[in-house]
Chains A and B, each alone.
Chain A
Amino acid sequence: MEVTRTPVDAGDLRVRQLRAQQMLRGELAGKDLDEFVEERLLFTTLETAQNWARKNCLFPLGFGLACCAIEMITVIGSPRNDLARFGAEAIRFTPRQADLLILSGRVSIKMAPIIRRLYDQMLEPKWVIAMGACSSTAGMFNNYAVVAGADKFLPIDIYVPGCPPRPEALIYGIMKLQDKIMGTPDMGWRERYRAEGTEEVE
């Protein structure tokens, strides 16, 4: 949804302030009151309201693997580029309270099952950002010890390039994720990737 800015002329602003004061004193009635309320109401579906709430309140899982983790902590900790502006600075260390997994660093073959277990134990609906070249692809470590890209065992929503990506790049990734959440957040990864029939047998 694009944002259009229309200049507010002073006269109209004065009138609306007066009307707001009257409403507060309870003197507005009848048509004026309906028009006043009509102007300020926003009609939306429960779905969009829900997405808007989820988008602006992401709980990232504190999960540092390697060098990108230093940049991620700088994004969270340093006052210059801060995640609090996006409502995502509440870092949670238990998967039970986190719904965004930022894979910051290289994914080794010994760590892959643990990441998969963490992903399974996270809250629904959950999203994954592969931060840096090493978790998006094997990056420059194309050898025996590194899983070539975390999308081999995890559904990843956003790939942030860079080694390590600048803090601004990670924030741009999170903004892209927020747009994606406004789109179709609720599809589980099985529906999104047409992977029916892969449910674990109970």
Chain B
Amino acid sequence: MPDATGLELIAQQVRENVADEAVTGTMYAREQATLEVAPEHVREVLAFLREAGEPWENLMSLHGCDYLPEEPRLGVHYQLLSMERCDRLCVKTRLGVDDPRLPTVIDLFPTADFQEREVFDMFGVFFEGHPDMRRILMPEDYEGFPQRRDFPMGGEPVLFTFNEGKFPRWYD
């Protein structure tokens, strides 16, 4: 794991090469290094990190997250891995929920194809430039993004003796 100072160095390099306001924060807790990036510069930061002095050439996982109480609700995480240095770095962006759009990273990391479709299917973050932006897990005509925290859990209320009478059996 890049330790705290290593993370600051990376943040510094990104600020110089990509844009000053690209990095909005760095967080280092329990040997997990996370680099927070502004949504507009995600693609350039990832491209830079891919060709940086110490390259992070593998994107292991791309997943979404919903921090409901906090304001920019939707978060998209890019777990980068460098196989030479056996090092992991997480690049995180925070998006509002009204019209979440992000540029796709498919040409940089082809592995992002299915994972971007899953983030779109579950959280509604639209990735521009993705060749086949459709739902991957839910049926095509499903409304709503299930893994947002305000989406109801669904399922049936469990039958007990006290609420047995409330729910009609399927055959009556």
Contacts and interface: CB of A to CB of B under 8 A. Distances in A.
Whether A and B touch directly in their complex, counting CB atoms under 8 A apart, is answered as yes
Interface string B136-159: 001100000010000111111010
Interface string B157-172: 0100000000000110
Nearest to B157: A142
Contacts of B151: 144
A144 B156 contact: no
A109 B143 CA distance: 13
A110 B156 contact: no
A71 B155 CA distance: 26
Interface residues of A, number: 13
A59 to B, nearest CB: 29
Contacts of A145: 138, 146, 154
A164 to B, nearest CB: 21
Contacts of A110: 138-139
Nearest to B146: A144
B167 to A, nearest CB: 11
B155 A148 contact: yes
Interface string A19-48: 000000000000000000000000000000
A142 B139 contact: no
A170 interface: no
Contacts of B153: 142-144
A144 B139 contact: no
Contacts of B154: 143-145
Contacts of A151: 170
A138 B139 contact: no
A144 B171 contact: no
A144 B152 CA distance: 8
Contacts of B155: 138, 141-144, 146, 148
A152 interface: yes
Contacts of B138: 110, 145
15 contacts: A109-B139, A110-B139, A142-B153, A142-B156, A142-B158, A143-B153, A143-B154, A143-B155, A144-B151, A144-B155, A145-B138, A145-B154, A146-B155, A152-B170, A193-B171
Interface of B: 138-139, 146, 151-156, 158, 170-171
Closest 4 CB pairs of A and B: A144-B154, A142-B155, A148-B156, A143-B155
Given A144-B146, A144-B151, A144-B153, 18 more contacts: A110-B138, A110-B139, A138-B155, A138-B156, A141-B155, A142-B153, A142-B155, A142-B158, A143-B154, A143-B155, A144-B152, A144-B155, A145-B138, A145-B146, A145-B154, A148-B156, A152-B170, A193-B171
